[in-house]
């Protein structure tokens, strides 16, 4: 079931109410049943729940073996590590990447004069596949390295893999952070419940009012970019970066707020990424749980920064190529990942000369103006890369987007405004979106909203509650569109 549906709200309210009727020791058992009920609500997942069970059982057993003091032989330990990798990696490959690599192999054979027919399994991947496989693999890696003790309680481990607030869209949790909480969930607290409820309301506002409002225009343009003039293509590209942040961070707000109500704390997944003043800083703030996963389990094992500059560059690009593939088995995501890695490599290797030039830049003599310019440049680079992401998501062509950017700038103001309105960005949507984005920026710069709201006075909190609820009532729509990152 989708977070932005009335069915989910009813389901969550029932689970939250019943959770506090159980003793602390029994809560994980009830939440495990609730998580599997949530997962199997959609027929697609009900048929493929065996994949979730398989990943859970295999990685649990591998963790027990790797955590045993009796298993000291390095080859035996590697065998259990490879077993977990083959199980989770095999599930990912066959359900998400088989068609892509089969076509790639056929294309390469054609280049060298061979002929291979690309295979197609036509398998429907279950939702949350990349999330629960990465979460369970991260646990096995940590046990193998000695950073995490093996989890002996199978219910706690199964709940860790399938915990319903984060199984479809993250954040990707670490065992050392979440599993200890299952043994001692937080007791009922009004302040905690109120903060969690506001975090959920905040997420719904960002998703259903702002992201969905912008999404109508963005999807209309990117679905047929060859029919859109340059002003619309530029606006859609710039707005998609904002839409993606509002959509995904809103989903994480709902997950974090819901888990908080249930008595658990999830990892923060965003820290105002568009406030970053350099591209590396943006990726330390964006999708933090996934970025840190690739850093810890791909980039650092490949050598990280502990090698020659060209190896560091290669490590970064390979890591971001893998991140692109994580998002989807298509060339648009691969190009998006490669471009992000290349920009980071260039930024890292030109940091010294750029800092020297910045000292002589007259525009950089005033701190606020300097930060504004840097943030605009970072946002522009991110938007340039995200065009390939958006084109794949909405079925358009990135080439058509870039090819059409310089056309249609001679339109009259009346024709231009009519074109925006005809694609879903009328004056009302624009004003609501602009005001909402300013509100999001003003509040989120103060820190996590659940803690921030509880420190406000009564006459600040309650008007804000009513304002967000009214915005949802008049401008939001339950079940209008799924969360973007639910597709990955």
Catalytically active residues are 327
- What's the start-to-end Cα distance of the chain, in Å? 16
Task: For residue 48, give both structure tokens.
Answer: 């493929």
Q: How would you label 360-386 residue by residue, b for 16+ Cβ within 10 Å and e otherwise? A: eeeeeeeeeeeeeebbeebbebbbebb
Contact 133, 9 (CB under 8 A): no
Bond from prior residue into 356 cis (ω within 30 degrees of 0): no
Assess contact for 177 and 138: CB atoms under 8 A: no
Closest CA to 169 of 139, 116, 130, 217: 130
Is 67 in contact with 147 (CB distance < 8 Å)? no
Residue 340 CA to residue 344 CA, distance in Å, equals 6
Q: Say if residues 237 and 408 touch (Cβ distance below 8 Å).
A: no
**CA atoms of 176 and 334, how far apart (whole Å):** 31
**Cβ-based neighbours of 113, under 8 Å, separated by 6 or more:** none
CA 30 to CA 22: how far, in whole Å? 8
What secondary structure does DSSP assign to 318-353, as a single string? HHHHHHHHHH-SSHHHHHHHHHHHHHHHHHHHTHHH
Query: For tokens 């930060």, what's the residue?
Result: 371
Q: How many helices (H) and strands (E) does the chain have?
A: 23, 0
Contact 166, 131 (CB under 8 A): yes
To the nearest 10°, the Cα dihedral for 433, 437, 443, 449?
Answer: 80
What are the DSSP calls for 218-265, one per residue?
Answer: HHHHHHSGGGS-HHHHHHHHHHHHHHHHHHHHHHHHHHHHHHHHHT--
């Amino acid at each position: 079931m989708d977070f932005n549906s009335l069915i989910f709200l009813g389901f969550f309210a029932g689970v939250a109410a019943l959770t506090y009727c159980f003793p602390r020791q029994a809560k994980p058992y009830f939440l495990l049943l609730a998580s599997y009920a949530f997962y199997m609500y959609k027929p697609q997942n009900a048929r493929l729940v065996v994949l979730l069970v398989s990943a859970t059982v295999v990685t649990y057993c591998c963790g027990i073996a790797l955590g045993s003091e009796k298993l000291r032989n390095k080859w035996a330990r590697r065998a259990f590590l490879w077993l977990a990798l083959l199980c989770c990696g095999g599930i990912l490959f066959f359900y998400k990447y088989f068609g892509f690599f089969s076509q790639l192999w056929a294309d390469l054979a054609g280049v060298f004069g061979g002929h291979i027919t690309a295979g197609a399994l036509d398998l429907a991947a279950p939702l949350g596949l990349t999330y629960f496989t990465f979460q369970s693999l991260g646990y096995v890696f940590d046990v193998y390295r000695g950073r995490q003790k093996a989890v002996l309680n199978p219910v706690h481990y199964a709940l860790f893999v399938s915990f319903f607030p984060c199984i479809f869209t993250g954040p990707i949790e670490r065992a050392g952070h979440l599993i200890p909480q299952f043994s001692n969930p937080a007791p009922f607290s009004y302040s905690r419940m109120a903060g969690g409820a506001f975090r959920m309301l905040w997420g719904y506002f960002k998703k259903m009012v702002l992201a969905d409002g912008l999404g109508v225009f963005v999807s209309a343009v990117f679905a047929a970019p060859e029919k859109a003039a340059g002003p619309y293509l530029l606006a859609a590209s710039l707005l998609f970066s904002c839409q993606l942040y509002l959509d995904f961070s809103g989903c994480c707000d709902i997950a974090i707020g819901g888990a908080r109500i249930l008595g658990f704390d999830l990892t923060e997944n965003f820290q105002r990424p568009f406030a970053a003043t350099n591209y590396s800083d943006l990726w330390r703030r964006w999708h933090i749980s996934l970025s840190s996963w690739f850093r810890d389990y791909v980039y650092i094992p490949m050598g990280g920064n502990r090698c020659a500059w060209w190896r560091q560059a290669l490590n970064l690009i390979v890591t971001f190529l893998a991140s692109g593939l994580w998002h989807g088995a298509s060339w648009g995501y691969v190009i998006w990942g490669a471009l992000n890695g290349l920009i980071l490599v260039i930024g890292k290797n030109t940091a010294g000369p750029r800092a020297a030039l910045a000292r002589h830049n007259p525009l950089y003599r005033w701190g606020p103006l300097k930060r504004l310019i840097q943030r605009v440049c970072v946002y522009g680079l991110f938007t340039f890369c995200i065009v390939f992401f958006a084109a794949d998501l909405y079925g358009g062509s990135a080439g058509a987007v870039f090819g059409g950017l310089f056309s249609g700038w001679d339109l009259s103001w009346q024709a231009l405004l009519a074109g925006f309105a005809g694609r879903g960005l009328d004056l009302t949507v624009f004003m609501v979106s602009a005001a909402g984005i300013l509100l999001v920026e003003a509040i989120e710069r103060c820190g996590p909203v659940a803690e921030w709201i509880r420190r406000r006075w009564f006459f600040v909190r309650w008007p804000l509650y009513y304002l967000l609820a009214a915005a949802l009532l008049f401008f939001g729509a339950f079940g209008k569109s799924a969360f973007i990152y639910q597709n990955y």
